[in-house]
A and B are shown apart, each in its own frame.
Chain A
C-alpha cells in the first residue's frame, strides 16, 4: 500500500492546479492524480505543416474524435451538445481559448433578482480577491474600465483588434451597443517568464508559444516547486470511505494499469462537471449506495453547458483570416435581464476572428457557399480572409433533468463505467439563442457584411461543464456547503465547475479557479477543526 498523504487531489486541470498551488504553502503532503500526461508543446499542431488537419484528428477538442489513451468514452447520444475537453495536466486550459471574463455581481443573485434557479451561497465580493489573485498568476490581457463590469485590476495591454475585430466594433458602434476589449488569459507582453502572443491563431489546439495561460505552465510549475507531487497516467476509479463515512483515499489505475490505493486524510475532486460526478456516482458503498456525497440526489444533476450561437459575416474588405488569436472583444449589451426580450437572464457576444485557409474552405463548402467541383476556386478566392464573426454564449439555467449518470454498459479502458449525458435545450435558452442570432446579424450588417450566416446551437460546443455537484447551505438542495466541503463526507471537497449553482452568461474558468482558491483558503483557515 502507498504511504498516506495529507491531501489527494483528483484532476490536474484549471481548478486542481489552483487548489494545489494554494494549499502547498501549508506544507501538507499533497499528491495530485491525473489520467493524462504533461502536454508537450513541441508536439502541438501549429509547429507542423499538418496543423489544420490535426484539429480534426489527434488534437481535436472532441474526445470522441481524439481518442487519446488519456480520454474516456462519453455516451452523449441524448445530448444535442457534445463534450469538449482535454485530459492531461492543465486540463481544459490546454485547449481553451483563454476568454477570461468574470461573473457579474447579479449572477450570484439569480433567484432574488429574476425569480429563477437559485442564489449562490456566496457573492461577488467574496470571490473578488480570489479573482484578482488568479488573474495575476494566469496573466490576463485586457483593458480596465469596462462599463459592463465592476472595476478590475490593471492588466496587460489588450490583444490587438486587427482588421476583423475593428470591423465588428464598427458594427456595435453603429447600433449604439456595448463592446469592450475582452479579458484574455493570453500574454501580450512577457509575463512571469512566458513569451508574448505571436498570433499563431491556434489557441484552441494548444499554444506552442506558451503565451496562453494553461495551468501546466502557470500554476503547476509553482506548485511542483513548492512540493506538490503530480502523478500522471493515474486514472481514479472511486473514492473509498470507512465505517464512519469519512473518505480514506482513492483507488486508481497507475501507468502500468495496476490498481493502487492512495490513502489520504482529505480528498479533493477537480475532474470537471462530467468527471467529478462520474467518480462520485461510481463510489458506491454500504453507507452510500447511491454514490458518494449524494444524499441530496443531486450529484450529476443540473448539468449546464452554455448553449452557443454563431454569427458569421462576409465582407468585401480583406480581413485577418486566422492570423491572430480568436479573442479580441466582447459585448455585454444583452447581459442583464430585460423581460421585454422574451427570456430571463442574458448572454455575452464574443468575437471569433476566423480559421486558417483549410478551415475556411471547409466552413464555406459545408454551408454551400463554395462548391466542390467546377467553380470552387473562383468562389473560394472571393471568400478567403473576407469573413469574421462572433459567438453568443447564453446563460444556461439549472434543470434537474439535465444529467450526468453512469452508462449501464459503456466503460473506459480500465473498465470504469463511462458517463452518460442527458441534456435538452430549454425554451428560455432557445428564445435567447434566437434573439442573439437576430441581434448579431444586425451587428454584422451594420459592420458592412454583405451576407450573414447564423447557427445555433453549436453541437461541438460542450466545453463548459457545470452544476453537477452544486454548492449551497441546505444539504437537501446542494452537494457541498458554501466552502466546497461535502455535506455528507466531511473530508471530501469539490473545487471544479461542478460547484456552480448557475452558469452566468460568460466562460467559466476564471470563476472556477477563483472558487478553487476560495475553497483552499477556507480549508487553510479551518485546519484545526476542518472535519468538525
Chain B
C-alpha cells in the first residue's frame, strides 16, 4: 500500500508534533528529515493511514490548524487508543530524526555511521577491580 500525497502531507504535521521544532531543535517535519522519513513509510502505510484517520476524527479535520497544545492532547489520545499502531509511527519518526547530521551535531554526537571510523572508548579505572582480586575463589567444588 502506498500513501497518497495528501496522506503524506497530513502525516508531516503529525510527525512535526511527535518530535516538534522547539527549544532550538529541528522538528521531524523539517524538509530534509521528512523527505528521508516519507521515503520509508510504505511498509507501515496501513498504520500511518489509521493514525491520520484517528487524528482527523479527534481534530474534526482541522488538526493542522489547531494550536500545538491541543495537537499534543489529540496525539496522546490517539496514542492511547491505537497502542502499537501508533508506536510504529513513533518508532519510524524517531529512527529517521536521530540520524540527521544536523540533529546529531547539535547533540554533540558525530554524524554518520559508526563503521569504518569506529569510536573511542576509554579504558576506565581498573583499580576498581582490586577488592575483587583480593577475594578467595567461591565457586562450588563438586
Contact = CB atoms under 8 A, between A and B. Distances in A.
B68 interface: yes
A376 B19 contact: yes
Contacts of B22: 374, 376-377
A357 B124 contact: no
Interface in A351-369: 356-358, 361-362, 365-366
A56 interface: yes
Contacts of B75: 372-373
B80 interface: no
Interface in A35-51: 44-51
Interface in B114-138: 114-126, 128-129, 131-133, 135-138
Contact of B121 (A148, A179, A199): A199
A104 B115 contact: no
Contact of B114 (A51, A108, A176, A378): A51
B25 A377 contact: yes
Interface in B69-119: 69, 71-72, 75-76, 79, 87, 90-92, 94-99, 104, 107, 109, 112-119
A105 B141 contact: yes
A163 interface: yes
A373 B129 CA distance: 44
Task: Tell me which of B19, B25, B95 has the highest count of chain A C-beta atoms within 10 A of its own C-beta.
Answer: B95
B119 A324 contact: yes
B99 A162 contact: no
A108 to B, nearest CB: 7
Nearest to A324: B121
A109 B141 CA distance: 10
A160 interface: yes
On chain A, which size bracket covers the interface? 35 or more
B99 A50 contact: yes
A511 to B, nearest CB: 15
B142 interface: yes
Contact of A373 (B72, B94, B136): B72
B90 A372 contact: yes
B55 interface: no
Interface residues of B, number: 58
Nearest to B25: A377
A12 interface: no
A336 B139 contact: yes
A45 B99 CA distance: 13
Given A147-B135, A147-B137, A374-B22, A56 B122 contact: no
A373 B114 contact: no
B82 to A, nearest CB: 13
A201 B119 contact: yes
Given A52-B99, A56-B91, A200-B114, A374 B20 contact: yes
B7 interface: no
A397 B139 CA distance: 20
Contacts of A198: 115-119
A116 interface: no
Interface string A370-383: 00111011100100
A147 B126 contact: no
B139 A149 contact: yes
B76 A373 contact: yes
Contact of B128 (A173, A199, A323): A173
B74 to A, nearest CB: 10
Contacts of A172: 132
Q: Which of A145, A181, A361, A372 has the most CB of B within 10 A?
A: A372
Nearest to B111: A49
Contacts of A365: 90, 94
Interface in A455-503: none
A324 B22 CA distance: 31
A178 interface: yes
Considering residues A51, A148, A377, which has the most beta carbons from chain B within 10 angstroms of its beta carbon?
Answer: A377
Contact of A46 (B107, B113, B139): B113
Contacts of B121: 160, 162, 199, 320, 323-324
Given A47-B115, A323-B120, A378-B23, A357 B107 contact: yes
Interface string A48-70: 11111100110000000000000
B142 A106 contact: yes
B139 A358 contact: no
Contacts of B96: 53
Q: Which of B79, B121, B123, B139 has the largest number of chain A CB atoms within 10 A?
A: B121
Given A46-B114, A150-B139, A323-B119, A166 B99 contact: no
Interface in A306-354: 320, 323-324, 332, 335-336
A165 interface: yes
A373 B126 contact: no
A336 B140 contact: yes
A384 interface: yes
A219 to B, nearest CB: 24
A442 interface: no
A366 B88 CA distance: 11
18 contacts: A109-B142, A113-B140, A145-B133, A148-B138, A162-B123, A162-B124, A165-B124, A169-B129, A170-B128, A173-B132, A176-B131, A180-B129, A361-B94, A361-B97, A362-B91, A362-B94, A366-B87, A381-B107
Given A44-B115, A47-B115, 6 more contacts: A147-B139, A163-B124, A181-B129, A358-B97, A373-B68, A377-B22
Which 7 A/B pairs are nearest by Cβ-Cβ distance?
Answer: A198-B118, A161-B124, A373-B72, A324-B121, A166-B124, A358-B98, A106-B140
Interface of A: 44-53, 56-57, 104-106, 108-109, 112-113, 123-124, 145, 147-150, 160-163, 165-166, 169-170, 172-173, 176, 178-181, 198-202, 208-209, 320, 323-324, 332, 335-336, 356-358, 361-362, 365-366, 372-374, 376-378, 381, 384
